[in-house]
């Protein structure tokens, strides 16, 4: 049996949450994984310049930086803080050598910030929150373009529409991206978030045709839903996503980039990282990689 082709596999560092950046780099190299999707918290721990050097010296690509966003605040202070944080994230992406900055745009002001507990009451105007996201993407686009970094809009599963992201479908993200150059505003297809969408095939093709398909992230939709739905993601093959079909659509759309495995799952986080990487590589090789070639 020939060795599995891992040449387009990228380990998103959220999958090995307990590893430092150094450990993730060593683990990826040992597992034959040639790229990393970096989260900003791991980068900040290591220090930006040092993080960039560690990854570069290990010969790894950076497939994306996760994440900017949280752009929905209705007040001026919230708006200014979000814009400043996203400009910093753009700079970090450039320093790390990736063009793709993934944005989770934030939920309703009535709900929560990135880490706060949900609570009802307050502003439930979803239409207005979405309009604010569009305005702030426009405000960030110039700095992104000047930095050669792309703002990558992530549609999140509608289960998160209240508290994490008012962008819920790929069509919506592409409509929002339309006024901007494809090198400046793109989209990511994360199977967990979009696998259910009856419009997915058409919108993946559209993303490819428009040159906006910036990232492909894979993990499964597990049931029952975890108590914290954010952590309900599984290894490909453990849930209900049809990876052959969706990966084929992504390939048909002309995507030739890295494929990130990004899993939030307490049980997986509690397991040894090397064992997690072995499963990631095996599932990718079995369920995803064969469908990347059309």
Binding site for its own copies (CB under 8 A): 108, 110-111, 118, 120, 124-127, 130, 157-159, 161-163, 167-169, 171-172, 195-199, 221-225, 227-229, 237-242, 245
CB of 86 to its own copies, least distance (A): 22
Quote the DSSP letter at residue 160: G
CB of 93 within 8 A of CB of 186?
no
Query: Would you say 237 or 257 has its CB closer to its own copies?
Result: 237
Query: Would you say 175 or 270 has its CB closer to its own copies?
Result: 175
> Rounded to 5 degrees, what are φ and ψ at 146?
-65, -25
Q: Which residues contact 254 (CB under 8 A, 6 or more apart)?
A: 208, 213
Query: Would you say 20 or 112 has its CB closer to its own copies?
Result: 112
CB of 168 to its own copies, least distance (A): 5
Residue 8: which of 30, 31, 33 has the closest Cα? 33
Query: Would you say 86 or 168 has its CB closer to its own copies?
Result: 168
CB of 198 to its own copies, least distance (A): 4
Query: Would you say 150 or 164 has its CB closer to its own copies?
Result: 164
Query: Would you say 242 or 270 has its CB closer to its own copies?
Result: 242
**Alpha carbon distance 168, 175 (integer Å):** 12
Read off the tokens for 82: 């979000």
Query: Would you say 1 or 127 has its CB closer to its own copies?
Result: 127
CB of 233 to its own copies, least distance (A): 13
CB of 232 to its own copies, least distance (A): 10
CB of 27 to its own copies, least distance (A): 27
CB of 191 to its own copies, least distance (A): 12
Report CA 98 to chain centroid distance, whole Å: 13
CB of 63 within 8 A of CB of 37?
yes
**Alpha carbon distance 231, 15 (integer Å):** 11
CB of 61 within 8 A of CB of 79?
no
Identify the burial level of 274 via C-beta atoms within 10 angstroms of its C-beta, where 0-12 means exposed, 13-18 middle and 19 or more buried: middle
Query: Would you say 88 or 223 has its CB closer to its own copies?
Result: 223
**Biggest CA-to-CA distance, the chain:** 60
CB of 65 to its own copies, least distance (A): 26
Task: Outline where DSSP puts E strands in 70-199.
Answer: 100-104, 150-153, 185-190
Residue 136: which of 94, 170, 167 has the closest Cα? 167
| DSSP β-ladder status, 220-221 and 233-234 | antiparallel
């Amino acid at each position: 049996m020939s060795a599995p082709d891992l040449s387009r596999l990228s380990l998103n560092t959220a999958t090995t949450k307990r590893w430092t950046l150094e450990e993730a780099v060593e683990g990826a190299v040992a597992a034959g994984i040639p790229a990393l999707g970096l989260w900003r918290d791991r980068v900040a721990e290591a220090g930006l310049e040092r993080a960039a050097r560690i990854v570069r010296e290990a010969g790894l690509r950076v497939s994306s930086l996760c994440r900017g966003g949280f752009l929905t605040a209705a007040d001026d202070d919230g708006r200014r803080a979000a814009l400043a944080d996203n400009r910093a994230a753009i700079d970090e992406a450039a320093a790390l050598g990736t063009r793709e900055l993934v944005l989770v745009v934030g939920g309703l002001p009535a709900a929560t910030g990135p880490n706060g507990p949900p609570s009802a009451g307050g502003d439930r105007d979803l239409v207005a929150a979405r309009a604010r996201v569009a305005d702030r993407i426009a405000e960030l686009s110039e700095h992104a373009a000047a930095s050669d970094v792309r703002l990558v809009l992530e549609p999140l599963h509608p289960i998160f529409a209240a508290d994490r992201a008012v962008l819920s479908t790929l069509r919506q993200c592409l409509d929002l991206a339309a006024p901007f150059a494809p090198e400046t505003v793109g989209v990511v297809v994360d199977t967990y978030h979009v696998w259910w969408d009856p419009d997915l095939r058409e919108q993946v093709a559209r993303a490819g045709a428009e040159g906006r398909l910036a990232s492909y992230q894979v993990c499964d939709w597990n049931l029952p839903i975890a108590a914290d739905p954010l952590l309900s993601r599984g290894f490909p093959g453990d849930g209900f996503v049809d990876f052959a079909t969706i990966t084929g659509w992504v390939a048909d759309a002309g995507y030739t980039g890295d494929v990130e495995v990004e899993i939030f799952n307490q049980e997986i986080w509690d397991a040894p990282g090397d064992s997690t990487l072995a499963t990631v590589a095996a599932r990718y090789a079995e369920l995803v990689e064969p469908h990347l070639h059309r």
